[in-house]
Every structure is written in structure tokens, then in C-alpha cells.
Amino acid sequence: MFLKKLEIQGFKSFAQKTILDFELGISAIVGPNGSGKSNIADALRFVLGEQGMRNVRVKKNEDLIFSGSGSKSKMNIAQATLYFDNSNKIFPVNFTEVSISRKIFRDGENQYFINNSQVRLKDLAEFISKAKLGLKGYTIINQGMGDHILNASEKERKEMVDEALGLREFQIKKNESILKLNQTKNNLEKTESIQRELSPHLKFLKKQVQKLEEKEKLEEELVKLEKKFVTSKFLSLKKEFDQKNKTKEELDKLLLDVQNSQKEISLKLEDEEKKVSGFFEDLEIYEKDLFKIESKKSELQRDLGKIEGAIDFQARSRKVVPQFTPISISHIKEKLSHIKNILGGLLKASSLDEMKKETKNLSDLFDGLLKDVESGKVSINSSDKEEDEGKDEIKKLKEEREKVLESLKETESVFVEIKEKIKDFNISHHKEKENIFNLRTEKKEKEFLSNKYRQELFDLSFKLGEIKRELEILDIKKDAFLKDGDFSENIASEYSSFGDFSGILREIERTKIKLETAELIDKSIIKEYEETKERLEFLEKETKDLEDATESLNSAIKKLELEVEDRFKKSFNDINKNFNKYFNILFGGGSAKLEIVSEKPSEGEDNLKKESVLGVDVSVSLPGKNVSSLSILSGGERTLSSLALLFALVSTSPPPFLVLDEVDAPLDEANASRFLKILDELKNQTQFVIITHNRETMRQADILYGVTMQEDGVSKLLSLKFNEAEEIIS
């Protein structure tokens, strides 16, 4: 079988009827960009049933129809027809020539034809799959399809291989069987659902008949139950009312006792608080005096520190001629006294700068003392004018220091005196304060207890009101049941032990429902029961037939899956071998291979889904280059890899024809030469239609079609057969 011709009219830019005759070998279609040559590949996709408008490079259906130009009006229909030589009966019909047609109208309607007989799209897909044609595989390859083959998922790549191997026919049959199986399962579920509905309904009908027979008995039972409930409930509530009323009286007495106790405690507390009313005022005065003394004490200590620092500074800043004398205990005491005073000033320093200054003075004084102790002698300064002046200043500062020390001593004495007064004051009034605290605590406890009793009395009163209202209602009902005045002590004692009111209420409600149901039942219910029973028997037989059909379809699906798997595995090794062969030719080395990948389904799925879903993975190794994944290949390398896989499929399972739309565009001269060498090898078993700009490809073609477009926006066709041209030239 081979492609004889393509006939298009009104399709995209081909307004006029255009016929392309094809022969075995290579047919090349050339033309400038924008002339419409790729529309021929789109027409081939269109006639083979393409539904994705993006794959034929339009946004909507009507864009496939010639839209008009300056000299030609728009058309309302686009059509394309493929003619095949069917001498070897690849198509399962008794015709030596087979035509496949498709028409599209501006309203979006599509029509499909096989040998001029209109068919469904589903019928067309099944028909062309028998000849290894289809759109998921490799019948029509454009520039982007190369990347699509490499970037496709493992499952999608397997679908392409399946179509190339002619397994699409079996998959269509399998999908149809699965659809039938799902439909059968749905019917089975509906049948079983009806059975599940009818089975309890039969039981219900039977119970209705029984209830009708028991109606009189149920009425007597209901009266007895209601009498039992009303009398027992009345007695129970009356008893509860008396108990709660007694409890209320006890709570009233307790509340009164607590309130009297509250009054007594309040009076005692008032007397105690009067006794110590002036205590806190006197204590506040003492505390204010203590705060003032503390502030004055701190201020005097800061002044003392400043004076000590000044004395030390004056002593160290005098210019004297050093004379030495043995160190004495009095000298060390004097120095240590200075250090102590500076430390006092440091502790009372009011700012960081002042603290740093005092710290420096302290460090210098301590270093000097340490040196004196280590040397065992101290220097004595010779007297001059500056020394006299310094001594006067130091003397003055020392006198001032004595005054401050005296004031500090007096302040400390006052401070201790006030603290003692506060201490004595607190001791003398401790007992009164403790007594007040105890009285306040006791008062709060009584208040809490009083509030508790009030809340309990409120709740109890509310509950007593509810019980009283319920008793009034039950008393009326009791009189209705016991008209003869038979509510004697004996009857009361008979029902007084009954306490499960919720249980008897449920029993009363059930009895009422049974009575209401029985009143609605008539004799026609028996006829309905018989009819329902017959229907259930029929459905049980139907269910058995559907279960048998399900088992048969499962078996057919399994058989088809095994057939596809067996054929796939038989051809897979040949494809892999050829893939590596053509990859080596195109790249001048390296290797490539396909790998089968099994996807394990999750647990808990049905038997069909437990079958492994096979995928196909691709890996390549370029000569002199480490390739970790297909994504790092360059555009040219991706094209060559895709072509190697394409040629492997063609050589293993030759299709009737193969359309290559500018797949050689990215190839340089050397790669194009290798590409054409493989085409020349394969053209004896597969018919090639190539859309190209490459001159070498044009030279290899057996027939050349040129597509041109004039100013009217209509594509036109020119053809040339090279063998005829050579005869004319010779």
C-alpha cells in the first residue's frame, strides 16, 4: 500500500482545487516562507482526523476554511481527500483503491468519508489504525515533534511506539471493551441497587400486613402504656416536688443564718478599723521622714567622695623635691582611709563621667600605696611656695571633709532613730492588723456562702415552678385515664417503682407509629407484595447474565493486553538495535537505547488496573561528550536524536508514508548528508513526503512540488518529476 495522491480545496490558503500526485520514493515540497507549503502537512493531519486546532496551527475550526482575498471571496467549506493504493489489502476492504475524506463547514460541522461513504470519527480512527496510520505516532513529523518525542512522558512515548507497530488497532478494541465493561458494570450496579431497594421493601410490606392484624392489640397496649407513664411520672414528680420544697426551706434558714453572721462580723470589723484609723497616717509621716533622711545621707556621701578626690588630687599635683622616710602604720592608715572615702563617693556617683573620674583616683591612690609598701619608704616633699599653697588648699578641704563627716554622722543617727520608731510602731499594732485581716477574710467567706445560697435558691425556685406546671398537666391526663377514681394507694404503689421514663416514652412512640401505619394499610398491599417478589426474581436472573458478561469482557481485555504486550516485546529489540544504528550514523559515533519502564499501581485497585502500565525511556551517549540527561542536548543534537528514533521505527515497522515538515532545517551540511543517506536507504520500504528548504534534500527527491503565493493570497502548485526532466535534458 502507498499514498497515491492528496486532493484539497478551500483548505486554508488553497482556495482552488489542488492535487498532489505521489509516487514511491521521496516527494519534496518547497517554497518560500509564507507560501503555504506547511498547509499541505496540515491538510494531511486534518484528513486523518486531527481534533486539536493548535496542531493544525489555527485557533478555531472556521480558520481552516479559505477566508477570502482581494480577488476571491471566502468559501464556506474546506475538504481534503487522500487516495491509497490498496493492492495488498492492508485496509480491510475489497477495493484496490481506498479514499479517505473530511469536510468542515463554517458552522463547525465535520463530515468523514471512506470511499465516499460517510462514517463516524471513531470508525475512521479504527480504519486507519489497521494500516499503521494515526496522529499519536509518527505519520506526520514537524520541527517541534522532535522535541515532543524526547520530552514526552514514558507512557506517551510508548503510545507512539504502539502506533508505529500497528498496535493501535488492538488498543482501540481494548478501549471499546473497557467501555462496554464499564457500561455492563453500571448496569449491574443499577440492577443490584434496585435489588437492594426492593429487598427491604418486601420485608416492609410483610410487616405492614402483620401490623394490620395486630391493630386492636396495639391500641390496648398503648392505653396501658400511657396510663403507666402518666401515673408513674405524676408520683415521681410529686415526690421530687416535696423533696425540693423541703430543701428550699433548709436553704432559706441557712441563708438567714449566714446573713446574721455577716452583720455581726461587719460591726466587729468597723470597731477594729476605728481603733487603728490613725495608725496608717502616723506611719506615712515616719516613712516620709525616713525617705528625706535617706536622700540627705546619699547627698552627703557624694559630697564626701568629691572632697576626698579633691584632697588626693591636690596631694598628687604638688611639685615637690622627693625626700624619703621609712613607711609607718599611720601613713598606711591614712591612705586606706582615703581609699574608703573614694569608694563611698564612687557608690553614690550620679553620672558615668563622675564614676570614671573617681575610679581613676582610686586606682592611682591604690598604686601609690602598693609602691610605698613594696619599697618600705615614702617621699617627703621639700617646701616651696607652691607646696605651701597646696597645703593650705588641702587643709581647707580637710576641714570641709570634717564638717561633712559630722553632718553624715548626725544624719545616720537620725536615720537609725526613725527606723527604730517604725519598727516599734509596727510591733505595737501587729495584733490589731492581724485581727482586722482575719475579720475581713471571714467576711468574704460569708459573702461567698451567701451568694451561693441565693443562686441555689433561685435555681431551685425555677425548677419547682417547672415541676408544678408539669404536675398540673399530668393531673389532667391522670383524671382522663382514671375516670372511675381508681388512683388509689394500691395503684400508686404499683407504679411508684417505675423510673425509666425515657424508655417508656420511646415504647409509647413506637406503638403510636405502629398504629398510624396500620391505619394506612389496605388489602392492596398484598398485590404489591406479589408484584415486587416477581420483579426481584427477574432482577436476580438479570444480575447473573450481567456477571457472566463482565467475566467475558474481562477475559477479552486480558487477551488483548497480552497480544499487545507480546507484539511490543517482539519488536522492541529490533527498534532498539536500529535506534542505536541510526544514532551512530547521524552522530558519527556514540550510542542510544530505549528501556522498558514498568509502573506499579497502588494497592487496592481492581484486577484490570493491577496490570502493569509499560512506558519507554530514552537515553543517549554522544561521542566525546558526557550527557547526564536529554534536557542538556542542543537543538541540533535533539533533532538528530529524534530522527534516529524515527528512522528506527520506520525500519522496524515501515508505515505506508511519512511526512517530514522541515525537520532538516536545523541540520548543517554534514548532518544533512547523513540524513539523506538514511532516507535513500529507507525509501524502498516507506514513501516519504518532505517539506524542505534544503537543496541537498531537493536533489534527492524523485518528484518536486513548488508552492507559491501571488498577491491574491492563494497558494498555487508547480510540479517537476526529476526522472522525466533528465530524459528531456538527455
* Residue 536 within a domain: no
Q: Judge residue 26's burial from the number of C-beta atoms within 10 Å of its C-beta, 0-12 exposed, 13-18 middle, 19 or more buried.
A: buried
Task: Please report how the helices 168-213 and 121-129 are oriented relative to each other, as an axis angle in degrees rounded to 10.
Answer: 130
Which residues in 534-556 are b (16+ Cβ under 10 Å) and which e? eeeeebeebbeebeebbeebbeb
Q: What is the pLDDT of residue 6?
A: 94
pLDDT band at 66 (very low <50, low <70, confident <90, very high): very high
pLDDT band at 64 (very low <50, low <70, confident <90, very high): very high
Same domain as 120, residue 26: yes
Nearest to 42 by CA among 68, 76, 15, 14: 14
Q: What is the pLDDT of residue 18?
A: 92
* Residue 671 within a domain: no
Task: Please report how the helices 154-164 and 168-213 are oriented relative to each other, as an axis angle in degrees rounded to 10.
Answer: 120
* Residue 476 within a domain: yes
List pLDDT tens digits, range 456-514: 778 877 877 887 777 777 776 666 665 544 554 444 455 444 455 677 778 778 877 87
Q: What is the pLDDT of residue 730?
A: 46
Nearest to 632 by CA among 624, 644, 620: 620
- The distance of Cα 562 from the centroid of its chain, to the nearest Å, equals 40
Q: What is the pLDDT of residue 115?
A: 93
Residue 37 has pLDDT above 60, yes or no: yes
Same domain as 383, residue 296: yes
Spatial separation of the C-alpha atoms in residues 312 and 398, rounded to whole Å: 11
Cell 391522670 maps to which residue?
478
Q: What share of the chain is helix, strand, coil (3-state, %, to 5)?
A: 65, 15, 20
* Residue 303 within a domain: yes
Q: What is the pLDDT of residue 610?
A: 47
Residue 383 has pLDDT above 60, yes or no: no
- Retrieve residue 526's grid coordinates: 398484598
Q: What is the pLDDT of residue 11?
A: 94
pLDDT band at 608 (very low <50, low <70, confident <90, very high): very low
Helix extents (H) in 482-618: 489-496, 501-520, 524-587
* 3-state secondary structure (DSSP) of residue 152: coil
CB count within 10 Å of CB 345 equals 23
Cα angle 409, 413, 416 (rounded to 5 degrees) comes to: 135
Residues 188-216, mean pLDDT to the nearest whole number: 74
Same domain as 283, residue 272: no
Q: How far is CA 65 from CA 113, 419, 447, 591, in A?
A: 18, 112, 97, 46
- CATH assignment at residue 107: 3.40.50.300
Residue 517 has pLDDT above 80, yes or no: no
Q: What is the pLDDT of residue 630?
A: 76
pLDDT band at 320 (very low <50, low <70, confident <90, very high): very low
* Residue 597 within a domain: no
Same domain as 42, residue 103: yes
Q: In what order do the strands lie in the sheet with 687-691?
A: 140-142, 657-661, 687-691, 26-30, 703-709, 715-721
Residue 522 has pLDDT above 60, yes or no: yes
Spatial separation of the C-alpha atoms in residues 654 and 438, rounded to whole Å: 110
Indicate the range of 229-243, 244-258, 569-583 predicted with least confidence.
229-243
Spatial separation of the C-alpha atoms in residues 165 and 568, rounded to whole Å: 7
Element containing residue 374 per DSSP (H, E) = helix 352-375
- The distance of Cα 137 from the centroid of its chain, to the nearest Å, equals 37
Task: Please report how the helices 635-652 and 669-682 are oriented relative to each other, as an axis angle in degrees rounded to 10.
Answer: 10
Same domain as 399, residue 309: yes
Residue 172 · residue 696 · CB < 8 Å? no
- Retrieve residue 290's grid coordinates: 525616713
**What does pTM read for this prediction?**
0.47
Residues 718-726, mean pLDDT to the nearest whole number: 68
pLDDT band at 317 (very low <50, low <70, confident <90, very high): low
Looking at the DSSP bridge assignments, the partners of residue 616 are: 596
Residues 554-562, mean pLDDT to the nearest whole number: 71
* Residue 607 within a domain: no
- Retrieve residue 165's grid coordinates: 507497530
Contact partners, residue 704, CB within 8 Å, separation at least 6:
27, 28, 29, 30, 698, 719, 720, 721, 722
Residue 83 or residue 395, greater confidence? 83
Q: Judge residue 311's burial from the number of C-beta atoms within 10 Å of its C-beta, 0-12 exposed, 13-18 middle, 19 or more buried.
A: buried
Residue 262 · residue 443 · CB < 8 Å? yes
Element containing residue 26 per DSSP (H, E) = strand 26-30
Spatial separation of the C-alpha atoms in residues 147 and 642, rounded to whole Å: 7
Q: If DSSP states are collapsed to H, E and C, what string results for 214-250?
A: CHHHHHHHHHHHHHHHHHHHHHHHHHHHHHHHHHHHH
Residues 300-309, mean pLDDT to the nearest whole number: 79
Same domain as 391, residue 419: yes
Residue 192 or residue 19, greater confidence? 19
Max Cα-Cα span within the chain: 148
* Residue 550 within a domain: no
Cα angle 699, 704, 705 (rounded to 5 degrees) comes to: 145
Same domain as 369, residue 266: no
Count CA atoms closer than 13 A to 518's CA, side-chain side: 16
Q: What is the pLDDT of residue 321?
A: 47
Residue 438 has pLDDT above 50, yes or no: yes
Cell 502537512 maps to which residue?
41
Same domain as 13, residue 91: yes
- Retrieve residue 509's grid coordinates: 412512640
Q: What is the pLDDT of residue 69?
A: 82
Element containing residue 98 per DSSP (H, E) = strand 97-105
Nearest to 713 by CA among 73, 27, 64: 73
Nearest to 574 by CA among 657, 502, 472, 651: 651
Indicate the range of 58-67, 383-392, 618-627, 695-704 predicted with least confidence.
383-392
User: Per mean pLDDT, which of 415-424, 478-487, 539-548, 614-623 is the most reliable?
Assistant: 614-623
- The distance of Cα 43 from the centroid of its chain, to the nearest Å, equals 45
**With pLDDT > 90 as the criterion, what percentage of the chain qualifies?**
10
* Residue 557 within a domain: no
pLDDT band at 19 (very low <50, low <70, confident <90, very high): very high
Q: What is the pLDDT of residue 1?
A: 58
Q: Show the domain range for 377.
A: 279-428
Spatial separation of the C-alpha atoms in residues 354 and 306, rounded to whole Å: 9
Indicate the range of 5-14, 173-182, 303-312 predicted with least confidence.
173-182
Nearest to 654 by CA among 678, 686, 679: 686
Residue 102 has pLDDT above 90, yes or no: yes
Spatial separation of the C-alpha atoms in residues 1 and 687, rounded to whole Å: 10
Count how many domains the chain has.
3
- Retrieve residue 481's grid coordinates: 385515664
Nearest to 48 by CA among 145, 113, 116: 113
Residue 197 has pLDDT above 90, yes or no: no
pLDDT band at 116 (very low <50, low <70, confident <90, very high): very high
Same domain as 241, residue 303: no
* 3-state secondary structure (DSSP) of residue 604: coil
Spatial separation of the C-alpha atoms in residues 683 and 647, rounded to whole Å: 11
Count the residues in the chain: 730
Nearest to 709 by CA among 71, 4, 20: 71
pLDDT band at 179 (very low <50, low <70, confident <90, very high): confident
Same domain as 407, residue 303: yes
- The alpha carbon torsion through 369, 370, 372, 376 (nearest 10 deg) reads 140
Same domain as 325, residue 310: yes
Q: What is the pLDDT of residue 331?
A: 73
List pLDDT tens digits, range 125-142: 888 877 767 655 567 887
pLDDT band at 431 (very low <50, low <70, confident <90, very high): low
Same domain as 424, residue 346: yes
pLDDT band at 389 (very low <50, low <70, confident <90, very high): low
Residues 538-552, mean pLDDT to the nearest whole number: 73
pLDDT band at 103 (very low <50, low <70, confident <90, very high): very high
Residue 612 or residue 63, greater confidence? 63
